[in-house]
Amino acid sequence: MKRAEPVVWGSLGAAVALLAWQLGTAGSPVIPTPWRVLVGFGELYRKGLLASYIAASLTRVAAGYGAAALLGLPLGALLGSYPGARQYVDTSIQLLRPISPLAWMPLAVVWFGVGNAAPVFLIFVGAFFPILLWTADGVRNVPKPLVAAGRNFCQSPAAVVFRVLLPAAFPRILAGLRAALGIAWVVVVAAEMIAVDSGLGYLIIDSRNAGQRYDLVIAGMLLIGGIGILLDSGLARAGRLKSLSWGSGYDGIH
Amino acid sequence: MTAAKVSIRGLAAAFEGKQVLDDINLEVYAGEFLCIVGPSGCGKSTLLNVVGGFLPAEAGSVTIDGEPVRGPDPRRIFVFQESSVFPWLTVERNIGFGLTHLAPAEREARVHHYVKLVGLAGFEKAFPHELSGGMKQRCEVARALAVNPDILYMDEPFGALDFITRMVMRTELLRIWHQERKTVLFVTHDIDEAVQLADRVLVLSARPARIRNVFEIAIPHPRDVNAPEYLDVRTRIMDELGVAHRL
């Protein structure tokens, strides 16, 4: 019964929120009620837009996020294993990092034009820094005795990286991957409002522009929220695998 | 017991900018159990780390079987005071960590042998955070022994354990040493530990460490800690270190 409790309370909270939404919008000419949003979902489904827009957004995230991980993981590992390397790039990273990925939008459109490449680039920019920095941080903070034991047992530096540094840093790397995925999902929606004519961001902006369809706007918002939860819980599940989630258990002897 | 396994000649080393070792000359024989004691912070660990290839020598040389030491080497395994068992691997995968070059069947047999040797049978699938401090340390010793190293470097390996576990671990280590006859270089700040375990006890001076004296302990194992010859060598080492034996 204990396990079910959060579900019960969570459902109750959602039911209250839904009721408040219904009561607050019952007479409104602009903001739709939950029921009208549900009908909107049905309309999107019948037009075949539901699956294709979701697929378009996910594909862009996969491309931008994938590229960020492909580049951020090895560079982060490198940055973390050579403390000397950090001083060369630290200033640049600190300057670039607080810039919202969306601020790159004008440049992205100049470089890549209107099409898929621009939003993919923005997602890449948004996801790259958390992956890079968390990976570097994780590798740098691997406890010294583990690194020493790795150097003692392994025949090559590459083996030390793959058999000791990366697994040891994994909890922090995963934290970076999760943060980056959250950002990527936020960025794709914003980017799709500008540069392309498909995806969930486009759905929202197009529904408003073409006929003030706020039922579809809210349907799009809810889709974004739901898929965001699914994406994050997928990565969170990876972190709960026993061989990977040792992070909370590590205490050495001291 | 006559062949020099490790030869240290005129060794000097610095750690964090300070001269730590000064003109250390020492031969360690194959199969010998050598303990290194000295005042706190004198450079015992630094000596072990230089011999183990983890720290560079500033002057002089360390050779093992006639070859100069260039870095850490899987033939010589270091056991640290802080646990260095890999927390993401189970006990059996930790112990098998250095055995990836073996065929799976042989690796499994070797792991099984050392799991039993250190008394961790039944905990093969446990993760380090599920083990006590003493069990973690035994896992670490098993991981070291499993690769069949020539030399074990042990840097206060039982220092963080409670008194009873420490005594048990010493007995276990002696039992294993009698079976496997590894060369052991063992740093400790505990004179009793040194006198209980060692063939010879090396006493270092305060920093920069030089060798003050070397004590042969010819008492056969198991050693009676109340026997006159045990107490005699213990007293002489305490005198050498300038430690009072009346409080």
Do both B156 and B49 map to the same domain? yes
Asked if residue B88 belongs to a domain, the reply is yes
User: Which of B97, B129, B160 minimises the CB distance to A249?
Assistant: B129
Q: Which stretch, A83-97, B91-105, B151-165, has highest mean pLDDT?
A: B91-105
CATH code of the domain covering residue B49: 3.40.50.300
Q: What is the pLDDT of residues B100-128, one digit of tens each?
A: 999 999 999 999 999 988 889 999 999 99
Residues B92 and B13 both lie in one domain: no
Q: Where does a domain end: B108, B126, B148?
A: B148
Write out the residue range of the structural domain in which residue B112 sits. Answer: 81-148
**Residues B157, B66: one domain?**
yes
Residues B121 and B40 in one domain: no
Whether residue B174 lies inside any domain: the answer is: no
Q: The pTM is what?
A: 0.79
Tell me if B102 is assigned to some domain: yes
Shared-domain flag, residues B57 and B157: yes
Question: Are residues A152 and B160, on separate chains, in Cβ contact within 8 Å?
Answer: no
Bridge partners of residue B155, in order along the sequence: B187
For B129, the closest of A146, A154, A250 (CB atoms) is A250
Domain-located, residue B214 = yes
Q: Which residues of B touch A158 (CB under 8 A)?
A: none
- What's the structural domain count of chain B? 2
Chain A residues with beta carbon closer than 8 angstroms to that of B76: 152
| Domains of chain A as residue ranges with CATH | 54-248 (1.10.3720.10)
Chain B contacts in chain A segment 121-180 (CB below 8 A) = 143, 145-146, 148-149, 151-155, 163-164, 167-168, 170
Q: Identify whether residues B119 and B18 lie together within a single domain.
A: no
The length of chain B in residues reads: 247
Tokens of A62: 């996969």
Whether residue B126 is found in the same domain as residue B241? no
Residues B36 and B156 in one domain: yes
Q: Distance between CA A97 and CA A78 in Å, rounded?
A: 19
Q: For residues A180 and A65, is the Cβ–Cβ distance under 8 A?
A: yes
Rounded CA-CA distance B175/B169 in Å is: 10
Q: Please indicate whether, in this complex, the C-beta atoms of B72 and A246 are within 8 angstroms of each other.
A: no
Alpha carbon distance A231, A253 (integer Å): 36
Same domain, yes or no: B57 and B97 = no
Cβ proximity of B150 and B183 under 8 Å: yes
Interface of B with A (CB under 8 A): 52, 54, 71-74, 76-78, 80-84, 86-90, 97-98, 127-130, 133, 136-137, 143, 147, 160-161
In a domain, B30, yes or no: yes
Name the pLDDT band for A148 (thresholds 50, 70, 90).
very high
Q: How far is A15 from chain B (nearest CA, A)?
A: 41
Shared domain check, B91 and B69? no
Q: Which residue has the tokens 């230089």?
A: B50
User: Quick check: A153 and B74 CB within 8 A?
Assistant: yes
Q: Is residue B167 part of a domain?
A: no
Report pLDDT digits (tens) over B158-204.
888 888 888 888 998 898 899 888 999 999 999 999 999 999 999 99
CB contact, 8 Å: A249 with chain B?
A: yes
Of A133 and A86, which is predicted with more confidence? Answer: A133
* ipTM of this complex: 0.87
* Contact criterion met (CB below 8 Å) for A157 and A147: no
Among B117-121, B230-234, B235-239, the minimum mean pLDDT is found in B117-121
Determine contact, residues A122/A191, Cβ cutoff 8 Å: yes
The reply to whether B211 and B158 lie within a common domain is yes
| Mean pLDDT (whole number) for A86-112 | 87
Percent of chain A's residues with pLDDT above 70 = 93
Residue B169 lies in a domain: no
Residue B13 lies in a domain: yes
CA distances from A19 to A13, A22, A27, B62 (A): 10, 5, 14, 79
The amino acid at residue B200 is R
pLDDT reported for residue A179? 93
Task: Tell me, yes or no, whether B111 and B18 share the same domain.
Answer: no
